[in-house]
Structure 1
Amino acid sequence: MALRDELWASIEDVYAAILDHPFIHGLTDGTLPREAFRHYVVQDSHYLRDYARALAVCAAKAPDEATTVQFAQDAAGAIAAERSLHEGFMVDFGSSVADATATEPVLPSTRAYVSYLMATVHNGSFAEGVAAVLPCYWIYARVGDALLAKGSPDELYGRWIATYGAEEFQETVRAVLDLVDRIGEDLSAGERARMLEHFATTARYEWMFWDAAWRGERWPV
């Protein structure tokens, strides 16, 4: 079995729960409360800065120059996504990403997710780091593709769906999945097991991230 297939099989239930989440349903039927989406955008802006750093660590640990370039470009792309997509959304909310992230804290689910990412990419092997960053690529691509045909009556949510369902993003994710299969050719059983663990963990954090926005998560004390 190709490594990508083994990884995805391990999170089929998580992905099903994501597609069934009211936040995701609310994007396509237009019923998602604006405040829930704003919560998501602000926390995602916090998250993406550290995600870009995690990709940069993967670039530094990459076994060859082509893979270094691949992850370095994706790290730059994550920053660009924050500055363009999120800034556009925040303008619609009468604010800006810079103002929101300067005044609104990183909340528990975001903090937990990025802390796990950074610990894994710094302390684990290159393969383990790739497994940890992969759900943010792959789940967004799958969700974007699944929602693209449905669209949304809300222009704001339609814009989000179009970004992640777009062929350009899908192509980026296919390149990472090709890399994952190449990694899988030479893995020990132990490292394969660690990749599966990290992949499943950060996939669960993806569900938690959307759920936190839906719930309006705040620090309890």
Structure 2
Amino acid sequence: MLHASLWEQNADLTQRIVEHTFVRGLADGTLDRNAFRRYVAQDAFFLRAFLKAYALAAAKCDDLERARVFHDLMTGVLDELKLHGSYSATLGINLDDVEPYAATRAYTDFLLRVAWHGSLAEIIAAMVPCMRVYQHLGNQLVASLRPDHPYERWITTYAGDDFGELCARLESLLDEIATNSPAVHDAYRYAMQCELDFFSAPLENLQ
């Protein structure tokens, strides 16, 4: 299957993400609270662009069943934004006034450019890595949970069945629509690199 092949072809970036200082801090609970605060703000900015990309993908669907999948995926993003909204109350973040880091802007600009100008196959290829990486991290990190783990809610959200189902549905669309063309491979690979850069940004930008 294409989704599995692309995931395997980018295993080097997956491993770098799993071993990233930010992710290891999430796993063992030692991640600095301010770094997590910066991450949540940037992720909320990113998710709003992700929502728009899903909407643009749905607009390119003539098949109603495919459009329904994107509708459900948009609902999933809105649920994630609710989670971030609850974080904002405890972390003191104004999610309506987030200045994106360079890594965040590079990622969102890429997604929206592909969503506006790319094929449906390229759009999905650009969006699958975010879903797949987060599901992978949730499943990897859930084993590290302990009583009073500060990031338990983040980990269990992405290890949950609901998120896993959405990821599987998007990957199924990728298998159905796309081929392992250079454009599809490049979109997937660049999105994976953006994911790695995204986890670095909260540790590099201290304001």
Q: TM-score, normalised by structure 2?
A: 0.94
What CA distance in whole angstroms lies between the structure 2 residues aligned with 1:3 and 1:183?
10
Paired residue type of 1:51: F
* Counterpart position of 1:203: 192
What CA distance in whole angstroms lies between the structure 1 residues aligned with 2:153 and 2:190?
28
CA drift at 1:199: 0.3
Alpha carbons 1:131, 1:196 under 8 Å: kept: yes
- Cα distance 1:204–1:153, how it changes in 2: closer, same or farther (>3 A)? farther
* Counterpart position of 1:147: 141
What CA distance in whole angstroms lies between the structure 2 residues aligned with 1:12 and 1:217?
30
* Counterpart position of 1:134: 128
Unaligned runs of 5+ in 2: none
CA drift at 1:178: 1.7
Alpha carbons 1:29, 1:153 under 8 Å: kept: no
Alpha carbons 1:30, 1:153 under 8 Å: kept: no
Segment of structure 1 superposing worse, 130-139 or 152-161:
152-161
CA drift at 1:5: 2.1
CA drift at 1:80: 2.7
Q: 1:111 aligns with which of 76, 98, 105?
A: 105
Which whole-Å deviations, capped at 9, do the CAs of 1:112-151 have from their partners, x for residues lacking one? Answer: 1000000011111010111011111111111111111222
* Counterpart position of 2:204: 215
- 1:50-61 matches, cutoff 5 A: 50-61=49-60
CA drift at 1:179: 1.7
Paired residue type of 1:205: C
* Counterpart position of 2:3: 4
What CA distance in whole angstroms lies between the structure 2 residues aligned with 1:199 and 1:212?
20
Which whole-Å deviations, capped at 9, do the CAs of 1:74-122 have from their partners, x for residues lacking one? Answer: 123212311x2112212222x25xx2432x4112111110000000111
Unaligned runs of 5+ in 1: none
* Counterpart position of 2:13: 14
- 1:63-74 matches, cutoff 5 A: 63-74=62-73
* Counterpart position of 1:41: 40
- Cα distance 1:131–1:14, how it changes in 2: closer, same or farther (>3 A)? same
CA RMSD of aligned residues (A): 1.6
Same amino acid, percent of matched pairs: 32
Matched, 1:101 2:96: yes
- Cα distance 1:22–1:126, how it changes in 2: closer, same or farther (>3 A)? same
CA drift at 1:63: 4.1
* Counterpart position of 1:91: 89
Q: TM-score, normalised by structure 1?
A: 0.88
Paired residue type of 1:87: G
